[in-house]
Structure 1
Amino acid sequence: MSAITVKDLTKKFGDFTAVNNLSFDIEKGEVFGLLGPNGAGKSTTMAMLSTMLKPSSGQAWVNGYDILRNEDEVRKSIGIVFQDPSLDEELTAYENMDFHARLYRIPKNERQKKITELLKLVELDEKKDNLVKTYSGGMRRRLEIARGLLHEPKVLFLDEPTLGLDPQTRNHLWDYIHRLNQEKGITIILTTHYMEEADKLCHRIAIIDKGQIIALDTSEKLKNDIGGDIITIVSSEKDNLYSVVESLPGINNIEVHDSSITIGLHNAEKHVAQIVNMASESGVPIDSISIHKPTLEDVFLHFTGRTIREEEATGKEQMRMMQRSRK
């Protein structure tokens, strides 16, 4: 049985569809990523799966429990780290953990043992009596993860776990998440708009755009499906350039974007001179040309025609629409 099963899950806020007919399965012990820009529907999906938000239609099961019929069972079997801070800054780390453990009715002796173990796991045991308001962003995130593990959940939800953290702290936190999965076998579902985060942590990645899954597979498979190398050419006459290079032999795919063309093909280095000569003979200017191996950014670009950064502006507007609908 899968840890999570989702079938045709949909959420609407008035006329705005935040999540549109999602279907996927997450295996036990898997780290599964929902990758996409702000406003793509990632957090809304997490909110439905964790029973904080009721779907408009569709079904989902978490640890075998129906998210609509078995809300209490779902909540008992999951841990969650919210995108927004949820710690009490006027309490110490230990007090935050103790309060949370009491809510789950963990017996006193067991409670003290688990708190000590988890604070050691995230390397906060020496600062357990410090007020949370004195903690850095990375320390708070680690404490939230430890708190989410107190009741030994089978599935851990991480909503943008490293948002706003500096690169060094982000890498440190990635190590903790990887260890949790490897050592404790916890199924982890995380949302992110960081390509490197999804690449480093996730066994499989679902790329979400405008509430829909546009691609789902391992990172390597998604990148390999684009084919070979990627040549990116910036030109003020991209449409004319497309007409010139579309006949180039060996092309796996070619895409026209806002100010550039991307070409997927093998052994790109051998074709660069040919492309430059073809453009020059046709009088088409080339501003810049570069070669790289496919990335998840290229996958997103391939399926949507836009980079994930370009989608951010659209995503923020969608979030504002959703907030207005909620009001």
Structure 2
Amino acid sequence: MKAIEVVGLTKYYGSFLAVDNVSFEVRKGEIFGFLGPNGAGKTTTVRTITGVLRPNSGEIRVLGYDMLDEREKIKARERTGIVPEMANPYVDLTAMQNLRLMGELYGMGRGEIEKRSVELLKLFDLYEKRNMKVRAFSKGMRQRLILAMAMISDPELLILDEPTSGLDVISARLIKDVIREEKRKGKTIFMTTHNMIDANELCERIGIIRKGRLIAIDTPEKLKQLVRGSVSVEVSFEPMKLETSSISSAIRVELMGDKARVFTNDPDATVKELVYYAERKGLRIVSLRTLSPSLEDVFIKLVGEKND
């Protein structure tokens, strides 16, 4: 069974076309990333998938349930945990009270709520703060609590909108570890993100949306194969000097602090040229390595092409 099936999704705001005939599926048990620049239609797509917005046309099924049917939508939501954009817990309640409230909304029994709340507070390193009002929590603590609240009913599917946005390294890592563990348990995770490193680390497949249209969907490694001329050689000299015109195999050169990144279609030739350049100029090579295209390279190229 597919966890999410979207066919021909179209959504207008007045005369503005926000999502244009988008179709994709999310397989059960995978982590699927949904990427796009601001205003591309990501949030509108998420809101239609979760049933907050009704599309003008198209079909949406979540865990086999028709999201355009009100009774089936309720059944799908009972098995789904959602962290929407700009979500916030109730700041005048404690962490434990927020979890209890969410458990009650899901119709869980009191004993089950208490047991699950303690498990999640410990998992997200919030147990010692369980009786503290959320108003005193940092952004990272609030985001961890929001994800815990979404997981209170042990849902089959998690839909996460920017789960690590703006977080400190420790909070972001903890959330990523939890996402990986949920996937290991067989859960499905659909996540939007602007963080290309997170997407590359976590997602088995990625969809990229631009101006309301899905322009690419595949595994991160296969998407990287779409980008030609983005293989690069990163070099650091001491002292750091590089006359870019001296490297004939370079497509372009980016200077980054004490390093230079030389983009090329022939990395072997570029490495040889850089070594020869260092010898001629009397420079010491501090570091030299070949880099494959990154997901960020793919994103910039695909989004840029569609923007031309």
TM-score (norm 2): 0.79
Cα separation, 2, equivalents of 1:71 and 1:93: 28
Q: Closer, same or farther in 2 for the Cα pair 1:231/1:111, shift >3 Å? A: closer
Residue 282 of structure 1: aligned partner:
none
Matched, 1:80 2:82: yes
Task: State the number of aligned residues.
Answer: 267
Amino acid at match of 1:192: T
Cα separation, 1, equivalents of 2:18 and 2:230: 34
Cα separation, 1, equivalents of 2:111 and 2:174: 31
Cα separation, 2, equivalents of 1:306 and 1:131: 48
Residue 301 of structure 1: aligned partner:
300
Tell me how far 1:122 sits from its aligned partner: 1.4
Amino acid at match of 1:208: I
Say whether the 8 Å CA contact 1:51–1:74 is kept in structure 2: no
Residue 191 of structure 2: aligned partner:
190
Cα separation, 2, equivalents of 1:141 and 1:16: 32
- Structure 2 residue matching 1:226: 3-state secondary structure: coil
User: What pairs with 1:222-233 in structure 2 (closer than 5 Å)?
Assistant: 222-227=223-228, 229-230=230-231
- Structure 2 residue matching 1:24: 3-state secondary structure: strand
Amino acid at match of 1:37: P
Q: Closer, same or farther in 2 for the Cα pair 1:188/1:138, shift >3 Å? A: same
Tell me how far 1:199 sits from its aligned partner: 0.5
Say whether the 8 Å CA contact 1:206–1:216 is kept in structure 2: yes
Tell me how far 1:295 sits from its aligned partner: 1.0
Cα separation, 2, equivalents of 1:131 and 1:291: 50
Amino acid at match of 1:202: C
Say whether the 8 Å CA contact 1:159–1:191 is kept in structure 2: yes
Cα separation, 2, equivalents of 1:271 and 1:118: 51
Relative to structure 2, which stretch is displaced further, 166-175 or 124-133? 166-175
Say whether the 8 Å CA contact 1:32–1:204 is kept in structure 2: yes
Tell me how far 1:270 sits from its aligned partner: 0.9
Residue 237 of structure 1: aligned partner:
none
Residue 12 of structure 1: aligned partner:
12
Residue 177 of structure 2: aligned partner:
175
Deviations, residues 61-97 of structure 1 (Å, cap 9, x unaligned): 0000001012211211211012213211010000000
Say whether the 8 Å CA contact 2:19–2:44 is kept in structure 1: yes
Cα separation, 2, equivalents of 1:129 and 1:83: 26
Tell me how far 1:172 sits from its aligned partner: 3.0
Give unmatched runs, 5+ long, in structure 2: 234-247, 253-261, 274-288
User: What pairs with 1:1-327 in structure 2 (closer than 5 Å)?
Assistant: 1-69=1-69, 70-182=72-184, 184-227=185-228, 229-230=230-231, 265=265, 267-270=266-269, 292-305=291-304
Amino acid at match of 2:175: L
Cα separation, 1, equivalents of 2:271 and 2:204: 34
Say whether the 8 Å CA contact 2:229–2:263 is kept in structure 1: no
Deviations, residues 235-275 of structure 1 (Å, cap 9, x unaligned): xxxxxxxxxx9xx9xx9xx99xxxxxx9763x32415899x
TM-score (norm 1): 0.75
Cα separation, 2, equivalents of 1:179 and 1:56: 37
Cα separation, 2, equivalents of 1:306 and 1:176: 35
Say whether the 8 Å CA contact 2:230–2:297 is kept in structure 1: no
- Structure 2 residue matching 1:3: 3-state secondary structure: strand
Amino acid at match of 2:45: T
Identity within the alignment, % = 42
Deviations, residues 195-231 of structure 1 (Å, cap 9, x unaligned): 1111111111101111111111111111123247535
Q: Closer, same or farther in 2 for the Cα pair 1:192/1:17, shift >3 Å? A: same
Deviations, residues 268-325 of structure 1 (Å, cap 9, x unaligned): 2415899xxxxxxxxxxxxxxx974211122123323369xxx8xxxxxxxxxxxxxx
Amino acid at match of 2:220: S
Give unmatched runs, 5+ long, in structure 1: 233-244, 256-261, 275-289, 312-327
